[in-house]
Chain A
Amino acid sequence: MVNIEINGKVIETRDGVTLIEAADSAGITIPRFCYHSKLSIAASCRMCLVEVEKAPKPLPACATPVSEGMKVHTRSPKAIAAQRSVMEFLLINHPLDCPICDQGGECDLQEMAMGYGSGISRYTEGKRVVHNPDLGALIATDMTRCIHCTRCVRFGQEVAGMMELGAPGRGEHMHIGTYMEGTVDSELSGNVIDLCPVGALTSKPYRYTARPWELRSYHSISPHDCVGSNIRVDVRNGKAMRVVPRENETVNETWIADRDRYSYTANDHPERLTQPMIREEGEWIASDWDTALTRAAEGLKAIAERDGAEQLGALASYSATTEEFYLLQKLMRGIGSGNIDHRLRQVDFRDQAEQPAYPALGQAIQDLELLDAVLLIGSNIRKDQPLLAQRLRKASRNNGAQIMAINAVDYDFTFPLAQKCITTDLGAELSGVLKALLTLTGDSAPDSLQPLLTGVEPSEAQQNIAETLKAAPQATVLLGNTAASYPARAELQALANLIAELAGARVGLLAEGGNSAGAWLAGCLPHREAGGRAATVSGMDWRAMVKAGLKGYLSLGIEPELDCIESAAVTKAMEQAEFVVALTAYTGEGLMAQADVLLPIGTFLETAGSFINTEGHWQSFGGVARAAGESRPAWKVLRVLGNLLDLNGFAYTSAETIRTEMEGLFGDVPIGNRSEWTMSEPTKLHQGLLRIADVPIYAVDPMVRRAMPLQATADALLAVRLSANSRTLEKYGLADGDQATVSQDGGEATFIVAVDERLPDNAVYLPAGISETRGLGGSFSPIQLAKA
Chain B
Amino acid sequence: MSEEKITLLSDASRAEIDRWVAKYPTEKKQSAVMAALRIAQEQNGGWLSNELIEAVAHYLEMAPIAAYEVASFYSMYELSPVGRHKINICTNISCMLRGSDEVVSHLEQRLGIKLGETTEDGRFTLKEVECLGACVNAPMFSIDKTYYENLTPETIDKILENLE
Contacts and interface: CB of A to CB of B under 8 A. Distances in A.
Interface of A: 157, 162-170, 177-180
Contacts of B73: 168-170
B69 interface: yes
B113 to A, nearest CB: 22
A168 B63 contact: no
A163 B65 contact: yes
Most buried by B among A162, A165, A168, A170: A168
B65 A165 contact: yes
29 contacts: A162-B63, A163-B62, A163-B63, A163-B65, A163-B66, A164-B65, A165-B65, A166-B65, A166-B66, A166-B68, A166-B69, A167-B69, A168-B65, A168-B68, A168-B69, A168-B71, A168-B72, A168-B73, A169-B72, A170-B72, A177-B65, A178-B65, A179-B54, A179-B63, A179-B64, A179-B65, A179-B68, A180-B50, A180-B64
Interface residues of B, number: 14
Contacts of A169: 72-73
Contacts of A180: 50, 64
B88 to A, nearest CB: 17
Nearest to B50: A180
Interface string B27-64: 00000000000000000000000100010000000111
Q: Dominant SS at the B interface?
A: helix
A164 B63 contact: yes
Nearest to A175: B72
A180 B64 CA distance: 9
Contacts of B50: 180
Given A166-B65, A169-B73, A180-B50, 13 more contacts: A157-B63, A162-B63, A163-B62, A163-B63, A164-B65, A166-B66, A166-B68, A168-B72, A168-B73, A169-B72, A170-B74, A179-B64, A179-B68
Contacts of A157: 63
A184 to B, nearest CB: 11
A162 B71 CA distance: 19
A178 B68 CA distance: 10
Most buried by A among B63, B65, B71, B75: B65
A30 B75 CA distance: 37
B6 to A, nearest CB: 16
A157 B69 CA distance: 14
A621 to B, nearest CB: 38
The 4 closest A-B pairs by CB, nearest first: A166-B65, A163-B63, A168-B72, A179-B65
A162 B64 CA distance: 11
Contacts of B65: 163-166, 168, 177-179
Interface of B: 50, 54, 62-66, 68-69, 71-75
B57 to A, nearest CB: 8
B40 to A, nearest CB: 16
Nearest to B75: A170
A43 to B, nearest CB: 18
A170 B72 CA distance: 7
Nearest to A170: B73
B54 to A, nearest CB: 8
Nearest to B73: A170
A386 B74 CA distance: 37
Contacts of B63: 157, 162-164, 166, 179
Contacts of A163: 62-63, 65-66
Contacts of B54: 179
A525 B50 CA distance: 56
Contacts of A168: 65, 68-69, 71-73
A177 B54 CA distance: 16
Contacts of A177: 65
Nearest to B27: A416
A162 B50 CA distance: 19
B41 to A, nearest CB: 16
A166 B73 CA distance: 12
A402 to B, nearest CB: 14
Most buried by B among A170, A179, A180: A179
Nearest to A171: B73
Contacts of A170: 72-75
B116 to A, nearest CB: 14
Nearest to B51: A180
Nearest to B53: A179
B117 to A, nearest CB: 19
B35 to A, nearest CB: 19
Contacts of A165: 65
A164 to B, nearest CB: 7
A34 to B, nearest CB: 17
Contacts of B69: 166-168
A639 to B, nearest CB: 53
A170 B71 CA distance: 10
Nearest to A165: B65
B129 to A, nearest CB: 14
A632 B71 CA distance: 58
A164 B54 CA distance: 13
Most buried by B among A167, A177, A178: A167
Nearest to A178: B65
A178 B65 CA distance: 6
A179 B68 CA distance: 7
A179 B54 CA distance: 9
B72 to A, nearest CB: 4
A169 B66 CA distance: 11
Nearest to B72: A168
A178 B62 CA distance: 14
B144 to A, nearest CB: 23
A167 B75 CA distance: 16
A571 to B, nearest CB: 37
